[in-house]
Chain A
Amino acid sequence: MSRAYRYSLNGSVLEPGALQLEAEHLSLRFGGVQALTEVGLVVRQGEVHAVIGPNGAGKTSLINAVSGLYRPQRGSIRLHADRVHELTRARPSKIARWGVARSFQNIELFRHMTVLENLLLGRHVHMRHNVFSALVYHGPAQRQEIRHRELVEEVIDFLELQPVRKRTVGTLPYGFQKRVELGRALCIQPALLMLDEPMAGMNAEETEDMARFILDVNELAGVTVVLIEHDMGVVMDISHRVTALDFGRVIADGTPAEVAADPAVVEAYLGVAA
């Protein structure tokens, strides 16, 4: 009767520190706009890896390429799981099945459904019953449904969503909606969690809350996090490694302290050479 969680939210089979995501020579072009040029990215299991850069630097393009929404013209993205997957030519649904979960910069939830229903949707990739057993419901489908609900309830507990469990998502304050989106990504039991500006538009208190939840996800649940963020303070506080982009190119890569001291990063952020 321990209160410990029964389900691990970390879907990765790798040892901490092992190579998990490897992008090489990634180039992405929309007509005449060069979004990414020869971008490389290395993410290791158990890290919080931040991707920073000014507006239009290509941060979102990079994770859209990883999650399969964009097809890069050149380069490769390899995900290490039970075996090595090449992501550049896989469909988004396949990539999600391999354990890559993400949140979006603009909240992409089902506004007219409850928090609980939105989170259960995160379990979709793990639902295995066929049409027939789903129609019968009693038996295997019910047992599965109960297990999914248990995991969802643990995520609700983890992210302190109990007071809004049955509320319609559209009626919730912005900070809660962001947390629900994080929760839905966690329900996938991801191997790799990519968060696109999870603190955008938040006040100081909401930002601190979200930073704490991201740390919990990483430290307690052991999930690898790729974090796109504008707020340098947050990035420096919670990341293990930082990759800085500018005009679609990697301008720096290293520990937060190294990247913050890099002249190219300073110039990209302040517009002048320091």
Chain B
Amino acid sequence: MIDPGTTFPKLLAALASEHPHGHALQEKRYGIWQTITWAEFDGRVRRFANGLAALGFVRGEVLAILGDNRPEWVIAELAGHALGGMSVGLYPDGVVDEVDHVVEHAGGRFVVAEDQEQVDKLIALRHAGRLRTVERIVYYDPHGLEEYDLGELLEFTEVERLGEEFAREHPGWLDGEIAEGRADDVAVLCTTSGTTAKPKLAMLSHANLLSMGASLMSLDPIRAGDEFVSFLPLAWIGEQMIAIACALQAGFALSFPESAATMRSDLREIGPRVMFSPPRIWQSLLSSVQVRLSDAGRLKRAVFGLGYAIGVRAADRRLHGRRLGPVLWAAHRVADAVALRPLRNQLGLVRLRRAYTGGAPLGPDVFRFFHAIGVNLKQIYGQTEICGIAVAHRDGDIRFNTVGVPIPGTELEVAANGEILLRSPAVFHGYFRNEQATGEALRDGWLHTGDAGYLEDDGHLVVIDRAKDVLEAHDGTLFSPAFIENKLKFSEHVEEAVVFGGRDRPIVTAMISIDPETVGAWAERKHLSYTTYTDLAQKAEVYDLIAQAVARANEDLPESVRVRRFVLLHKQLDADDEELTRTRKVRRGTINDRYGEIIGALYDAGSDAVTVLSMVTYQDGSQTEREITLRIASVDGVAPATESRGRVAIGARP
């Protein structure tokens, strides 16, 4: 149980007095990792909090934060909490409309924005007559902002300076404010992913987040001195969970990468002990391994292929809780030394003790790959509304098709209609300013997840899909489009897939976007020249390649829900075009509206091509239009691809 007086700022103050010189935050600046100690971290939080107070920030107010992961992000967040305020994070790559929605809805007077790019979004909205509530915009990267002449703009260090003055005039005032904080105060307004509607803001208290962190760490301890690289948006619940809720309880250091482009090498330099990433990160790690392996020499491929085969066998035994036996044990030691550990080292995963994937299902083959190379990857299941984690795999009890069993302190029930219900101290306080949605999600303390699932005999939970997304095929078979989409995405050549079907549709069809990295590499090996993504996607050879992948996915599916026709989209699905959420989940409503013509053609048996007007929205909001003809292909009679992601493609040149 969390003590009712515990809050994040109090935990920080305790760490600062116990380990003043311990590493709290690390950031690469001037090409060198620079450390901020717990005492410095606490000091900056106090200065910024005093500064906010000097500017008029009051208890219960909302502080919006918009930017990439930097020390200032968490300093601002904790300063808001110290004053009894609520923080709301925004995705830094969000377009103007998303910023507008969240800030307007939260109604904050203070926004902390990283740099010129983010400040420009806010100013554009101000000019359009939006964000009337915003009084101050605080930025922490001043490049390019020197010439801006706006009264509400303030540099982060200037707020800290104001804070120092304020602290001199009001000694001890902030200590009183921090002491007043209760664990049940709402600390974080976390945006939900919003696959169907605009994101909602889930109200999470200190106690919610801390109890979730405590439960998780009671299973999988994270120690002071462990490393964590914070590279996923801090607006995401998964990042808040580890970087705030766990880090402040266990006292481990956060490292912030230098830029998005250096993330891989920064990860390798730090060598994190724990990682939590959505499936796309694991998939892209695997894709990069596949691409680099296929470019490697014959000897390297052979050595890795052999080591990997041993790794797969060892992993299969371990995952079922069986011992390796002396021969396999010895073989695995050799394989690890010559093939698996070097690869883990390349990926920066060599020191990793545990890794989690969550937010969406991860394909079994991807799962198997990471276990085979010695990464202890575990599926977790949860929602923003329950602080991210409610169900997780235990060490030594990992099954690829399940999401594990509830973590300590969590009750789980499957309702008669198949909906998953959860209850725990981590269940949120409701949606901010949205009584109706709160009433639907929270009933008698139970969180109604809206996900359909079932429990296996041994207590493992299987999640099928969002309950309202489950479709009925023309013959009455129930199926989940997301399940089929994930099967399609097992092919390393498929980046995103959207499956259509339902009672009034005679067949199941799919709209697929190819992965430019892997398909591009494949095309190069086939001596297939292409210019743009669109050109590559419309090559007949690429259609044949994907048809085989679709046929392979169909093998495991019942006859009536097999994908019969598909189209390769001329563009990648993009969150900027509102086709995906910021956490990369498909927005079916938008897809149905935008690609109605393509979907129509998929169901017009006579047509083998469709011409569409493509509207592209750039980040600044401008749009262009062009006309493109897309082929539509049938899968009937296509032989399935013999290789699947993970198993055979590794070590073999396709």
Which A residues form the contact surface with B (CB < 8 A)? 1-5, 116, 149-150, 153-154, 156, 158, 160, 162-163, 165, 216, 220
Contact with A along B7-39 (1 / 0, CB 8 A): 000000000000000000000011100000000
A150-B30, A153-B30, A156-B31 known; A3 vs B262 contact (CB < 8 Å):
no
Pairwise interchain contact A165-B157, C-beta atoms closer than 8 A: no
A158 CA to B262 CA in the complex, in Å? 15
A3-B140, A4-B142, A4-B143 known; A160 vs B259 contact (CB < 8 Å):
yes
Tell whether B56 is near chain A: CB-to-CB under 8 Å.
no
Between A and B, 26 residue pairs with Cβ closer than 8 Å are A1-B44, A1-B157, A1-B160, A2-B142, A2-B155, A3-B141, A3-B142, A3-B143, A4-B143, A5-B143, A116-B31, A149-B31, A153-B29, A153-B30, A154-B30, A156-B31, A160-B259, A160-B261, A162-B262, A163-B259, A163-B261, A163-B262, A163-B265, A165-B31, A220-B143, A220-B146
Nearest-Cβ distance from residue A206 to partner chain B, whole angstroms: 15
**Residue of B with least CB distance to A153:** B30
A3-B140, A220-B143 known; A162 vs B258 contact (CB < 8 Å):
yes
A260 CA to B142 CA in the complex, in Å? 37
A165 CA to B142 CA in the complex, in Å? 23
Q: A149-B31, A165-B31 are in contact. List 8 more A-B contacts (CB 8 A).
A: A1-B44, A1-B160, A2-B157, A3-B142, A3-B143, A153-B30, A160-B259, A162-B262
Chain B residues near A158: list those with CB within 8 A.
Answer: 143
Tell whether B326 is near chain A: CB-to-CB under 8 Å.
no
A2 CA to B71 CA in the complex, in Å? 12
Chain A interface helix/strand/loop/mixed: helix
Tell whether B144 is near chain A: CB-to-CB under 8 Å.
yes
Pairwise interchain contact A153-B141, C-beta atoms closer than 8 A: no
A5 CA to B44 CA in the complex, in Å? 20
How many cross-chain pairs have Cβ atoms below 8 Å apart between A and B?
39
Chain A residues near B31: list those with CB within 8 A.
Answer: 116, 149, 153, 156, 165
Chain A residues near B146: list those with CB within 8 A.
Answer: 220
Chain A residues near B30: list those with CB within 8 A.
Answer: 149-150, 153-154
Nearest-Cβ distance from residue B268 to partner chain A, whole angstroms: 12
Chain A residues near B157: list those with CB within 8 A.
Answer: 1-2
Nearest-Cβ distance from residue B115 to partner chain A, whole angstroms: 9
A162 CA to B262 CA in the complex, in Å? 7
A154 CA to B143 CA in the complex, in Å? 11
Contact with A along B109-149 (1 / 0, CB 8 A): 00000000000000000000000000000001111101000
**Residue of A with least CB distance to B114:** A3
Chain A residues near B29: list those with CB within 8 A.
Answer: 153
A1 CA to B155 CA in the complex, in Å? 11
Chain A residues near B140: list those with CB within 8 A.
Answer: 3
**Residue of B with least CB distance to A216:** B144
**Residue of B with least CB distance to A154:** B30
* B window 272-306: CB within 8 A of A: none
**Residue of A with least CB distance to B141:** A3
**Residue of B with least CB distance to A163:** B261
Nearest-Cβ distance from residue A267 to partner chain B, whole angstroms: 34
Chain B residues near A149: list those with CB within 8 A.
Answer: 30-31
A158 CA to B143 CA in the complex, in Å? 9
A210 CA to B156 CA in the complex, in Å? 30
Nearest-Cβ distance from residue B410 to partner chain A, whole angstroms: 41
A221 CA to B218 CA in the complex, in Å? 52
Chain A residues near B156: list those with CB within 8 A.
Answer: 2
Chain A residues near B155: list those with CB within 8 A.
Answer: 2
Interface centre among A1, A158, A165 (most CB of B within 10 A): A1
A59 CA to B364 CA in the complex, in Å? 62
A153 CA to B29 CA in the complex, in Å? 8
A1 CA to B142 CA in the complex, in Å? 12
Nearest-Cβ distance from residue A202 to partner chain B, whole angstroms: 16
Chain B residues near A162: list those with CB within 8 A.
Answer: 258-259, 261-262
A43 CA to B522 CA in the complex, in Å? 52
A3 CA to B144 CA in the complex, in Å? 12
